[in-house]
Structure 1
Amino acid sequence: MTYGDGPGPLALAHRGGAQLAPENTLAAFERSVALGVRYLESDVRLTADGHLVCFHDETLDRVTDGTGPVAARTVAEVRRLRVCGQEPVPTLVEALEAFPDACFSIDLKDESALEPLVQVLRIRRYRERVCVAGAWDGWLRRVREGAPGVATSLGWRSLTTLIACSRAGVPVPRWIGSAPFAHVPIQLGRVPIFVEEVVHLAHSVGVRVVTWTCNDPVAIDRLLSLGVDGVISDRPDLLREVLVARGDWVPMPGATGTVRASDERRSGLSGNL
């Protein structure tokens, strides 16, 4: 499966489904895959000995029983910790190998992880299933140059330009179309984003719009009605329900779909944006 291929809007599980299982863990990824979710969003950080791990924060304190920067620990030290007291921190390669039929949207959290990520993405079976996002334009350009063919989102500068043009009601520069996706927040601080205008401008230069992070079914339905090409959610179960109701749900081939909605709602573990 190649990233972005196939019919229907993309349904992405934010940090693997951060309100269904401990975020960015194999347990979270597995739960979303069992629902039939084809796209898993995660973050990467670099350990002291050069390994990429699926982890959001710069420090370990919020979600693990450890403290201090991720970058100050070896991969062995990080893996001995438990996210929410339950699950180990996986490496990126471990996650990619564990779910070979899933695609991953990867937020590149710091520049030190850039070259190690490029090395991973030079392997075709990984590169074809990945979109790199959440980074500056220059970082993403280096990723595309180092791993030709990999998908990326717009960098922060390009995204800011796209949003500014949508608010001003002016055409977007053609150079914005340098990447196939724009990961657009629902709002910036307390300022709402005019999603319909963003979608129109992005589509005019061949860029697909993926919105984040939305956990409310009514809001998800509205976003899809405005023409977004994908939604990132901590609640992939609810996102799936909306897509099913709209006739837009396309499950991952071979998914069991055995996770019950009642179980999903009881398991809520909140994750920060």
Structure 2
Amino acid sequence: MKAFQSAIDLGFQYLETDVHATSDGVLVAFHDATLDRTTDHAGEIARMPWSQVSEAKIGGTEQIPLLEQMLHAWPTARFNIDIKAPAAIGPLVRVIERARAHDRVCVTSFSDVRRRAALSRLTRPVVTSAGQTRTAQFRLATLARGRGQRLVSATLRDADGLQVPVSHQGIPVVTAATVAAAHAADKFVHVWTVNDPTQMHQLLDLGVDGLVTDRADLLKKVLQERGLWS
């Protein structure tokens, strides 16, 4: 929770997190599938009940947060939520429904199958971004001649936007052309993970709509320099 609170304290109202489910269906806000790398415990989250996972401390000091806890802690914040595993779909839907948070979440996943499964179970629509397959199709569509823009719109018909890296395997993903194509289809473009101020400026110059960063302090400074912070 400390990292999220730090971003809130800086003035940000958009938070990004990954989610996994414990073996008893408790949804945790955590990137890795296992506890090994960043906590003082070990084991696969999906194979452990919350009673065990809750004992793990991030950096040896902080309990792994629950997504529901975060939604209630910051009721005006908006959350970008990446579904990391199929087992997290049901718990995520239940958390969003209980918190009535439909209007302040963006549900996404590398897997378009997982993403669509979650959307189909929600009682109200939420913002969503394309998964890996749709994103790859979008990139190919931008290279097509003649009917490229129609292909872009068709490819992104079930998503509100894209969340992409700057490049993939050395091939640029975010260019002036791809940003323009997404905007022409009325879709947003968010870029991850950007921690260098120079690159932040370059991407904002291209017209991207959002940046995912581990350095909220640097992003705030960049936005202030550009007169985009209020």
Give the TM-score normalised by the residue count of structure 2: 0.92
Gaps of 5+ in 2: none
Q: How does 1:175-186 map to 2 (within 5 A)?
A: 175=154, 176-186=156-166
How well do the aligned residues superpose, as a CA RMSD in angstroms?
1.6
Residue 200 (structure 1) aligned to one of 167, 177, 180: 180
Q: How does 1:79-98 map to 2 (within 5 A)?
A: 79-98=54-73
Structure 2: distance between partners of 1:52 and 1:137 = 20
Segment of structure 1 superposing worse, 167-176 or 219-228: 167-176
Structure 2: distance between partners of 1:201 and 1:244 = 28
Residue 74 (structure 1) aligned to one of 46, 49, 54: 49
Residue 150 (structure 1) aligned to one of 126, 137, 150: 126
Structure 2: distance between partners of 1:125 and 1:237 = 30
Structure 1: distance between partners of 2:84 and 2:99 = 23
Q: Which residue of 1 aligns with 2:137?
A: 161
Report if aligned partners of 2:164, 2:190 keep a CA contact under 8 Å in 1.
yes
Q: How does 1:18-57 map to 2 (within 5 A)?
A: 26-57=1-32
Three-state SS of the structure 2 residue aligned to 1:128 is helix
Structure 1: distance between partners of 2:169 and 2:58 = 28
Three-state SS of the structure 1 residue aligned to 2:16 is strand
Segment of structure 1 superposing worse, 147-156 or 185-194: 185-194
Structure 2: distance between partners of 1:124 and 1:74 = 22
Structure with the higher helix share, 1 or 2:
2
Q: Which residue of 1 aligns with 2:76?
A: 101
Q: Tell me the matched-pair count.
A: 225
Report if aligned partners of 1:177, 1:207 keep a CA contact under 8 Å in 2.
no
Deviations 1:101-137 (A, max 9, x none): 1111011000111111112222463221110112322
Segment of structure 1 superposing worse, 193-202 or 54-63: 193-202
For the pair 1:248 / 2:216, whether they are aligned, the reply is no
Q: Which has the higher contact order (CA 8 A, sep 6+)?
A: 1
Structure 1: distance between partners of 2:192 and 2:175 = 11
Three-state SS of the structure 1 residue aligned to 2:17 is strand
Q: Specify the code of the residue in structure 2 equivalent to 1:132.
A: V
CA drift of 1:189 comes to 2.9
Identity over aligned pairs, percent? 38
For the pair 1:230 / 2:210, whether they are aligned, the reply is yes
Three-state SS of the structure 2 residue aligned to 1:132 is strand
Structure 2: distance between partners of 1:166 and 1:243 = 29
For the pair 1:111 / 2:86, whether they are aligned, the reply is yes
Three-state SS of the structure 1 residue aligned to 2:57 is coil
Q: Specify the code of the residue in structure 1 equivalent to 2:10.
A: L
Structure 2: distance between partners of 1:74 and 1:124 = 22
Q: Specify the code of the residue in structure 2 equivalent to 1:222.
A: Q
Report if aligned partners of 2:35, 2:56 keep a CA contact under 8 Å in 1.
no
For the pair 1:173 / 2:149, whether they are aligned, the reply is no
Structure 2: distance between partners of 1:138 and 1:71 = 19
Q: Specify the code of the residue in structure 2 equivalent to 1:173.
A: V
Quickly say closer, same or farther: Cα 1:53–1:124, change in 2 above 3 A: closer
